[in-house]
Amino acid sequence: MKKHFWKAFVLLTAMMFILSACSGGKSSAGVDALSAEAPDEELSGEITVASWNTAADALTETAEGFMKKYPNTKINIEYVTSDYNSITPPLTSGKGAPDIVQVQQRDFPNFMEVFEGQFVDLTDRLGDHANEFAEVALNLTKDSDGKIMALPWDLGPVAVYYRKDFFENAGVDPASITTWDKYIEAGLKIQEANEGVSMVSLSLNSDDVVELYRMMLNQLGGQYYDEDGKIKFASDESIQSAEMFKKIVDAGIVLDAPTWDDRIRTFVNNQVATTIYPVWYAGTIKNQAADQKGKWGLMPMPAFTEGGPNQSHSGGSVLAITTQSENPELAWAFMEYTLMTNEGEDVQMKYGLFPSWQPYYETENFKAVDDYFGVALSEFFGQLSTDIPPIDYGAHFLDVNSALIGAMNDILEGKDTVEAFKAAEETAARDTGLEISGQ
């Protein structure tokens, strides 16, 4: 998210009623829920799907296959930015939204609350097939009444992608990097042996500054709230995560890359030895650095202590049909083809999008060795998905995240970790109306 995005979000929400009155609200052609009946085999019509980056690339190829199967349809993929700047205004005004929108899993609970009534209920249409999706992903698509308002797309088990040649030049065995302290030690050796190479690129001065902290927090089983739903940032797990992140930065092994595109350029230009991202980043590396085929390997996320937890989940998206859609049946058919057929999931795997739809796990293509990395991505990341701690993002995550961004910036500048988190708790409580744990 860009800085101050949530403030803009709130402002847009405040304008909702005024704009809705001017626009006449959602299209009368839209529906609030899809029935249990399957759509017609003779599908026709046109829809627009809003998505970004590699995910949009995957949908573009998926749409080609769908339109061959249903020649009287047209699927338009609208490339948007992941900050939702082009999605939230039409959802707020009730006019002009795409038929289908991509939303990050962690953000969808907030979207359901802020844009209540803007997404089609899929519960009846899914029926017993809902049990075919991974629970950790499906839970984030349910509203407060337990209705399913989107389809889970991909999962995001985290690993470390590493350049084999840079490691070999330094005599570093990736299997030896079992803890974050050893990761730092290896980084210093690798940088010394490879001129112009940093161990990793991370954002140190943008909203993405919390990315690695968030992965570490999940790795340790930390939460943003206590068991009563009160804000709690200054937990042991949170403090450990922030201080380890700062330790990595202070060691001098980080190349500052504020934006998504900046970080892509660092590996394309041979400037980094590792990148810490989920399974879906495999598609980004393959597509952006095709000439580096065979140079990249994979290793598990380091633990905080020997033998400690090293599994984490980051990213992952959902696809939701907006109630503004004039052809929700076609929108459903496209989503079903994309996320609930082997043919559609073949394309998602091609772009590194690890499926939430579990029946696909039994297919030969899911188990196949990836030519670029030389390993079966499904097998490797499947082993990193067995014990990922659940995490509750809550309906106010955008505000919570904004407060944590401020805290992390303060911590990197030298402010005491506990003091920074306590100040962030006050900010988040003010912005969300939630209570602070222990008060």
Domains contained in the chain, CATH given = 5-155+315-362 (3.40.190.10), 158-312+385-439 (3.40.190.10)
pLDDT for 117: 94
d(CA 95, CA 71): 28
- Dihedrals φ, ψ of 50, to 5°? -95, 125
Residues in the chain: 439
State pLDDT tens for residues 366-421. 889 999 999 998 889 988 988 888 888 888 888 999 999 999 999 999 999 999 99
Is the CB of residue 176 less than 8 Å from the CB of residue 182? yes
Q: Assign 270 to helix, strand or coil.
A: coil
d(CA 338, CA 331): 11
pLDDT for 280: 85
Helices (H), 323-374: 328-339, 342-350, 364-367
d(CA 187, CA 181): 10
d(CA 371, CA 211): 29
Is the CB of residue 52 less than 8 Å from the CB of residue 104? no
Name the strand (E) or helix (H) holding 36: none
Residue 52 exposure: Cα atoms within 13 Å on the Cβ side: 17
d(CA 436, CA 231): 5
Residue 407 exposure: Cα atoms within 13 Å on the Cβ side: 30
Is the CB of residue 141 less than 8 Å from the CB of residue 150? yes
Side chain identity, residue 343: E
Name the strand (E) or helix (H) holding 51: strand 45-51
For residue 171, how many other CB atoms are within 10 A of its CB?
A: 9
**Strand arrangement of the beta sheet that strand 100-104 belongs to:** 73-79, 45-51, 100-104, 317-321, 151-152
pLDDT for 414: 96
Of the candidates 112, 148, 116, 145, the residue with the CA atom closest to the CA atom of residue 397: 112
Distance of CA 266 to the CA centre of its chain: 21
Burial class (CB in 10 A: 0-12, 13-18, 19+), 204: middle
pLDDT for 134: 86
* Residue 58, both tokens: 């995957």
With a cut of 70, which residues of the chain have pLDDT below it? 1-30, 38-41
* Residue 366, both tokens: 């899911």
d(CA 309, CA 316): 21
pLDDT for 315: 81
Dmax (CA) for the chain in angstroms is 66
Helices (H), 117-156: 123-126, 135-138
pLDDT for 198: 98
| Angle subtended by helix axes 417-432 and 397-412, to nearest 10 | 160
Contacts of 132 (CB under 8 A, 6+ apart): 340, 357, 358, 359
Q: Assign 360 to helix, strand or coil.
A: helix
| Angle subtended by helix axes 211-219 and 236-250, to nearest 10 | 130
Are β-strands 73-79 and 45-51 bridged in parallel, bridged antiparallel, or unpaired? parallel
d(CA 423, CA 404): 10
Is the CB of residue 251 less than 8 Å from the CB of residue 266? no
pLDDT for 393: 87
d(CA 396, CA 110): 6
pLDDT for 23: 35
Is the CB of residue 216 less than 8 Å from the CB of residue 241? yes
